[in-house]
Amino acid sequence: MNKKDILELKRRFKKTHCTLTRLAGCYVNVDKEMQLIFNENFLNLEEEEFYKYLEIAGKTLSGTLGNNLLELEFPKEEEETGGRHQFLMGLKESKLKNDDLLQTFYQHVIDHYDYAGNYLILVYHDAYDVMTRTSDNDDLDESEEVYEYLLCSICPVTLSKAALGYLELENRIGPRVRDWVVGVPDVGFVFPAFTDRSTDIHATMYYTKDAKEPHPEVMEAILGCPSRLTATEQKATFTNIVNSAVADENKREKVFFSIQETLNDIVEEQAILEERGQEVEPILLTPDTIHEVLANSGIAEEIAAKIEHSYTEQFDEMPPVVDHLIDNKALNAGLQKKKEQELMVEVQVLKDQLNAARESAAATSEELLATSECQVILTVAPERAEQITAQTIDGKRYLLIPMEEHETAKVNGVEEQF
């Protein structure tokens, strides 16, 4: 599924486009007991409930692809009789009208979902009539297929905070009643996936609110798919690989920045091609590609070999895309430090040039003094030349140069304090 596919589905969760048929749910308490089970025709919901449930459905397709949204593929064995894929297909085909299947699903979630607290399991059913589109993205009045799918959202239910409020019946300010409130989804999924505007029964789109803790137990035990790392997890893992390979703490930052700079160059090259209208596929950072990246980053062979070995062990089966490994904070800090170092070099070069010019001017003055008929040669800034005056004192002529108390002067290259 790409961004266009996801946005097309999300548009279904608006009042004017909604075609959701049923909503089933189960409220689970902290002791992992089913407190409430319900199953309703979605279009018969009260208006306020209708919008709230649509909002939750929309949140289950929010976030960034590869980070909050992960496309998971089912292993072949799960698609066989008795597999979890087959169970989900049966649940979809029942259109949520089989209470036994639903209860089995709820219990499966309760047995495997790792969450300490109350939560609400919601399952939506929809049948979306996918219209044929022209090359200009205009919908025609004919259908390509009916995309029938389930959307599941698992939402924490927490007690509202204690607060004061206006008690209307008593006409006074007092403690507000605390309610159990359904929050935004923690995890969820869409089954089957909607890929290139068509049903893909071999995959599901998985959602996690927290990319640092994506609940792999839901991917594996509930959906039956191999778990995948989010972009946040991939980035953290890659950082640890580089840090572990560099024993010298003083070198780690430099090595990591060099790699980040090379990865960023790859992304920028892709962006240029996209601006030119070319279709660009995301670049996967395979073990072969990381070898090239390390070589182009000027990393020492010993360190590069350690990084490459650990990288292959971690990412050989599911290599991440280049974008997922770029640490923008570290990259920007490194670029800023690089600019500061370049500026310091430029300043030092200017200082050296200025000292050389001063030495050259002093040498020129000495040479002029030696070859000229003049016995006194002054070198001053133009604004100071206007301040020099001549005056006769006791029958002798003097050049008077006004000086502040803190100022010094050099006579024949020797600094004098007057």
**Tens of pLDDT, residues 256-285:** 999 999 999 999 998 888 888 887 788 899
Predicted local confidence at residue 74, as pLDDT = 96
pLDDT at 356: 83
**Structure tokens, 142:** 């004919």
User: Which pLDDT score, from 0 to 100, does residue 387 have?
Assistant: 83
Cβ atoms of residues 235 and 327 within 8 Å: yes
| Predicted confidence band of residue 14 (pLDDT cuts 50, 70, 90) | confident
Let me know: does 203 contact 73? Beta carbons within 8 Å.
yes
Q: Is the pLDDT confidence value at 108 over 80? A: yes
For helices 84-93 and 99-112, the axis angle rounded to 10 degrees is 140
pLDDT above 70 for 366 = no
**Which of 144-148, 224-228, 235-239 has the lowest average pLDDT?**
144-148
User: What pLDDT does 52 receive?
Assistant: 95
Kindly report the length of the chain: 418
Percent of the chain at pLDDT exceeding 70: 93
Round to whole Å and give the CA distance between 399 and 403.
13
Q: 365 falls in which pLDDT band (50, 70, 90)?
A: low
Is pLDDT at 412 greater than 80 in this prediction?
no
The DSSP symbol for 321 reads: B
CB distance 417 to 411 below 8 Å: no
pLDDT: which is higher, 6 or 354: 6
The predicted structure's pLDDT at residue 360: 75
Pairwise CA distance, residues 268 & 365, whole Å: 55
Task: Tell whether the model's pLDDT for residue 295 goes beyond 80.
Answer: yes
Distance CA 113, CA 188 (A): 11
pLDDT single digits (tens) 63-101? 999 999 999 999 999 999 999 999 999 999 999 999 999
The predicted model gives 182-202 an average pLDDT of: 95
Specify the pLDDT at position 418.
65
What is the rounded average pLDDT of the residues 203-214?
97
- pLDDT tens digits for range 127-148: 999 988 766 666 666 677 899 9
The kind and range of the H/E element at 205 are strand 203-208
Whether 398 has a pLDDT exceeding 80, the answer reads yes
User: Please, which pLDDT band fits residue 368 given cuts at 50, 70 and 90?
Assistant: low
CA 186 to CA 121: how far, in whole Å? 10
Q: Which long-range contacts (CB under 8 A, 24 or more apart) does 332-341 make?
A: 334/253, 334/256, 334/257, 334/260, 334/261, 335/261, 337/257, 338/257
Q: Kindly indicate the confidence band of residue 119, based on its pLDDT and cuts at 50, 70 and 90.
A: very high
Q: What is the pTM of this model?
A: 0.77
Q: How many helices (DSSP H) and strands (DSSP E) are in the chain?
A: 11, 16
Q: What percent of the chain has pLDDT over 90?
A: 60
**Of 187-196, 311-320, 348-357, where does the model show the most confidence?**
187-196
User: Tell me, what's the pLDDT at 210?
Assistant: 96
Question: What pLDDT, on the 0 to 100 scale, is given for residue 408?
Answer: 78
pLDDT at 27 over 70: yes
- Residue 359 pairs with which residues in a beta bridge? none
Averaged pLDDT of the chain: 89
pLDDT at 135: 63
Name the residue type at position 168. Answer: E
Region of residue 326 (phi > 0: left; psi between -120 and 50: alpha; otherwise: beta):
beta
Please, are residues 26 and 34 in contact by the beta-carbon 8 Å criterion? yes
Task: Yes or no: say if 230 and 214 are a contact pair by the CB < 8 Å rule.
Answer: yes
Selection from 390, 415, 387, 414 nearest residue 403 by Cα = 387
| The pLDDT value given to residue 123 | 98
d(CA 183, CA 178) in angstroms, rounded, equals 15
226-237: average pLDDT: 95
Q: Which is higher by pLDDT, 178 or 119? A: 119
Alpha-carbon gap, residue 117 to 108, rounded angstroms: 17
Whether the pLDDT of residue 314 is over 90: the answer is yes
From 260, 258, 270, 267, select the one nearest 297 (Cα to Cα).
258
Predicted confidence (pLDDT) at residue 369 exceeds the cutoff of 70:
no
Compute the average pLDDT of residues 239-255: 91
